[in-house]
């Protein structure tokens, strides 16, 4: 018999996946179209009868990114604000909840990616929620005409407002799926991990979750090597876009014209290929994103919730722009370049590894050290055998199928069982440790503990063997406080 649930908008009928109840394509907000384009998310309209929840909703509008190893190509629309739930079909008590935020540089990605299938995690006794949020210029846009019409509403970071709305929906409705709204862990990778760090510093997200997992999230100032846009820079970018689109003025007519533009006119190029003056991403708005999360972490202003954070061993190796960026940085910092060459074991290795460590690895340690709650630091280095011939380690996003337990093949599945158990344990108890797993101590400056998953999938925790390199980077001009 198909599972059913009643949420505040109406009745749902999902489907069964063995011992898991699956509900897909649930609206958590009204379609952000027409007059709701560039507005905070509104509650979805109630429906009558039983709504089928057996297929994913539309992905958010975006341009295809050839470098996206997780998402496929599915139907896309502005009407994208839906979420998905995987829950144990039988449970003796309310289950803890993991809410997943997908990555993609704030320009790409979708909750429908096969790697994010929540069934394997749900079989470990947790409820899994994934959702879409507005991307690119649909989700991150400022313009004086919007400011004039805001009437007290927050503006600019609509994608983040969507994330907060999804968490609010979970608070109101997750009990209908057997979830415990008082035991919610928010998790994400790349832009999703950056979002987790942002939510930990946003006044608008207070009380919506009790734990956090940030995978390959960065954590120092800016977004993955880019400085974070100020509000004035966001307005300038919005004006420039409007001019290119043939819209002039700052009044109601300009706003109506912008909202009437076809979706295709708003599409923006993916994060890593977007020039800084074209990229449509987060900006400091003073209400949702009150300051750079790295600055707020350094000031001790992040939420005091248990925190699991880390990065992959070779994050930037498959990013074509990484090596030229590293070479340029090293060329202009002679004494530091020499010290790093010694720490890495050679100038060539320093050039190959530098951007991974600057953008992802060292910032993960930095955020782990600044939260006022238990923090568990990891570094994931396992790679499938075919990949090892290209890069001796894990590239960006490669850990995701393993933490979800969706990796295929005998050896990959073994590592996936291990990693998903760590993650599920953390969601259940705020501690990743459990029977049959390598012991993983919380991180602090003195012990410098990190769980390392090596190239062949063996896990071992202990003092960080990269401490000297990371200390150099933490005190370098590459990593501002």
Decide if 396 is catalytic. yes
Token pair of 195, please?
A: 């979002």
How far is 312 from 391, CA to CA, in rounded Å? 12
Q: Report yes or no: 463 and 446 within 8 Å, Cβ to Cβ.
A: no
Q: Are strands 127-131 and 95-101 parallel, antiparallel or unpaired?
A: parallel
In 3D space, the residue among 267, 360, 375 whose CA is nearest the CA of residue 316 turns out to be 360
Q: What single string gives the DSSP state of each residue in 52-98?
A: E--S--PEEP----TT-SS-----EES---EEEEEEESS-SSPEEEE
How far is 441 from 437, CA to CA, in rounded Å? 12
- Show contacts of 427-431: CB within 8 Å, 24+ apart: 427/96, 427/97, 427/98, 427/121, 427/126, 427/183, 427/185, 427/187, 427/211, 428/96, 428/125, 428/126, 430/210, 430/211, 430/306, 430/374, 431/306, 431/374, 431/376
| Max intra-chain CA distance, the chain | 70
How many C-beta neighbours within 10 Å does residue 385 have? 11
Q: Could you say which of 71, 112, 190, 356 is catalytic?
A: 190
Task: State the Cα angle at 305 between 478 and 404, rounded to 5°.
Answer: 80
How far is 353 from 362, CA to CA, in rounded Å? 12
Q: Could you say which of 102, 143, 396, 443 is catalytic?
A: 396
Q: Report yes or no: 375 and 307 within 8 Å, Cβ to Cβ.
A: yes
- DSSP element (H, E) containing 379: strand 375-380
Q: Is the dihedral of CA 408, 419, 450, 330 positive or negative?
A: positive
Decide if 315 is catalytic. yes
Q: Could you say which of 61, 143, 216, 315 is catalytic?
A: 315
Decide if 456 is catalytic. no
What amino acid positions are annotated as catalytic residues?
190, 315, 396
């Amino acid at each position: 018999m198909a599972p059913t649930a009643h949420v505040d908008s109406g009745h749902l009928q999902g489907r069964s996946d063995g011992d898991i109840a699956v509900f897909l394509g649930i609206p958590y907000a009204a379609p952000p179209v027409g007059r709701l384009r560039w507005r905070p998310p509104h509650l979805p309209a109630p429906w009558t009868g039983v709504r089928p929840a057996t297929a994913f909703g539309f992905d958010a509008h975006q341009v295809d990114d050839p470098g996206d190893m997780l998402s496929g190509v599915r139907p896309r629309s502005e009407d994208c604000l839906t979420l998905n739930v995987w829950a144990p079909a039988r449970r003796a008590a309310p289950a803890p909840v993991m809410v997943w935020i997908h990555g993609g540089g704030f320009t790409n990605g979708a909750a429908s990616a096969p790697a994010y299938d929540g069934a394997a995690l749900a079989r470990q006794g947790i409820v899994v929620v994934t959702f879409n949020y507005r991307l690119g210029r649909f989700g991150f846009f400022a313009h004086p005409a919007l400011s004039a019409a805001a009437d007290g509403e927050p503006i600019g970071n609509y994608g983040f407002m969507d994330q907060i709305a999804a968490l609010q929906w979970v608070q109101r409705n997750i009990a209908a799926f057997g979830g415990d709204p008082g035991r919610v862990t928010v998790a994400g990778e790349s832009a999703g991990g950056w979002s987790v760090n942002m939510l930990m510093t946003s006044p608008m997200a207070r009380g919506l979750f009790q734990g956090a997992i940030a995978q390959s999230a960065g954590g120092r100032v800016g977004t993955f090597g880019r400085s974070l846009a100020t509000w004035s820079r966001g307005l300038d970018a919005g004006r420039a876009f409007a001019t290119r689109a043939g819209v002039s003025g700052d009044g109601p007519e300009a706003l109506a014209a912008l909202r009437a533009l076809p979706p295709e006119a708003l599409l923006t190029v993916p994060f890593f290929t977007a020039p800084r003056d074209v990229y449509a991403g987060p900006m400091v708005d003073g209400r949702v994103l009150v300051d750079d999360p790295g600055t707020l972490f350094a000031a001790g202003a992040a939420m005091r919730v248990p925190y699991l954070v880390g990065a992959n061993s070779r994050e930037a190796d498959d990013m074509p722009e990484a090596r030229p960026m590293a070479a340029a940085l090293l060329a202009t910092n002679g004494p530091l370049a020499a010290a790093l060459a010694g720490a890495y074991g050679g100038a060539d290795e320093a050039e190959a590894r530098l951007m991974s460590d600057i953008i992802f690895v060292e910032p993960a340690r930095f955020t782990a050290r600044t939260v006022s709650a238990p923090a568990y630091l990891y570094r994931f280095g396992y790679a499938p055998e075919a990949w090892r011939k290209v890069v001796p380690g894990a590239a960006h996003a490669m850990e995701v199928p393993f933490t979800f337990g969706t990796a295929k093949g005998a050896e990959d599945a073994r590592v996936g069982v291990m990693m998903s158990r760590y993650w599920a344990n953390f969601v259940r108890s705020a501690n990743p440790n459990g029977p049959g797993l390598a012991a993983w101590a919380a991180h602090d400056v003195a012990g410098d503990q990190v769980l390392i998953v090596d190239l062949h999938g063996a896990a071992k925790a202990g003092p960080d063997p990269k401490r000297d390199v990371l200390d150099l980077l933490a005190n370098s001009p590459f990593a501002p406080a």
